[in-house]
Amino acid sequence: MHIRPFADRDYAAVAEINTLIMPDQPITGQLLARLDAQREPHLLYGRWVAEEEGRLVGVAGYGQWADVLVPGEVYVYVRVHPAFQRRGFGAALYDALIDRLRRVGADSMKIALRSDRFPGINFAMRRGFIEYARRIEARLDLAAFDAAAFPDPDAQMAEQGLLLRSVADLAADPQRDQKLYDLKWEIEQDIPYPGRITRPSLPAFQTQYLNSPSFAAAGSFVAVDGDNYAGLVFHESASPSLLMVELTGTARAYRRRGIAQALKLRSMVWAKAAGYTTMLVNNDLANVGMLAINDKLGYVRQPALILLQRKAPF
């Protein structure tokens, strides 16, 4: 067994392991490399791999996100190829992770695990992680989605004087990025979230979302009222079959008018036409309004995501 820092030559093997562990969220080495290239340098980050006889069999790492940035707090993961689990690779990778976090002065680790992945949960809890929240993951089978069963979202919004436009179509608006940035922050402040949210800079927002290689600009929609942006739905995709909902919400002045549901419906119609087979969304248990919309639109709830945390000393 050999534990070493991640190198550029490891992207394909790491992506393969990530996909084996989370087959419902596949990723390629090329996309992983592009996402890494856009990481902001001030955010804490590290990644290690485990090798056995020259074969990469596991990966562990930590990182931070600009929009949930808490000094000293990092999000961590440990993943081992299924054929090499229960052989000490995970423990060795975790030890390397802890050693580095002590050196950089981290004082809190967070991890998200599906509730049906018992070995991973046991691994974390044996190492002092404690559950602090749960999220609901839901999936939509686009083959079974029938747009005719719902009101036409464009016509529904037109009755209110609103237009549904894709983020890509709004590129000609010189204030697009600023308006999306401001609207996203207004929405996020009202979303039930088990932790602290922070407002990144506009360039950080552009990097993490609008300019990200995984951001689906043609499939992310905005409700437009003249010069105002009234609501949005953002999507990301790491594969040609799966579209992930990143954020849905409405400006405070436009709520309770069916805008969020219309945005979701518009994106579902687009996703099916674009050849996607599945849509995935995560919401906190306390976000009962959005959970109700997802249920109504045909999303099927999956095993919960358990959020766990361990605080220093490690």
According to DSSP, the residues that pair with 132 across neighbouring strands are none
Nearest Cα neighbor of 184 from 219, 143, 234 is: 234
Backbone angles phi, psi at 169, to 5 degrees: -70, -25
The predicted structure's pLDDT at residue 192: 86
Distance, in Å, from the CA atom of 180 to the CA atom of 210, rounded to the nearest integer, reads 9
pTM exceeds 0.85 for this model: yes
For every residue of 214-266, DSSP letters joined together read: TB-GGG-EEEEETTEEEEEEEEE-SSSSEEEEEEEEE-GGG-SSSHHHHHHHH
Nearest Cα neighbor of 3 from 50, 59, 47 is: 50
Query: Which residues, including other chains, have CB under 8 Å from residue 174's CB and lie 6 or more apart?
Result: none
Provide block-wise average pLDDT over 10 residues at a time, the chain (314 residues): 97 97 92 94 96 97 94 97 96 97 96 94 97 95 97 97 98 98 96 87 95 97 98 95 97 97 98 97 92 97 96 94
The predicted structure's pLDDT at residue 156: 97
Query: Which residues, including other chains, have CB under 8 Å from residue 39's CB and lie 6 or more apart?
Result: 45, 63
Distance, in Å, from the CA atom of 224 to the CA atom of 253, rounded to the nearest integer, reads 13
Nearest Cα neighbor of 27 from 239, 281, 243 is: 239
The predicted structure's pLDDT at residue 238: 87
Backbone angles phi, psi at 89, to 5 degrees: -65, -40
Residue 78, number of CB atoms within 10 A of its CB: 24
Q: Report which DSSP code applies to 208.
A: I
Backbone angles phi, psi at 214, to 5 degrees: -95, -5
Tokens 């390629």 found at = 28
The predicted structure's pLDDT at residue 109: 98
Record the tokens describing residue 187, joined without a space. 């929405």
Nearest Cα neighbor of 309 from 172, 76, 111, 18 is: 111
Task: Characterize the bridge pairing of strands 221-225 and 228-236.
Answer: antiparallel
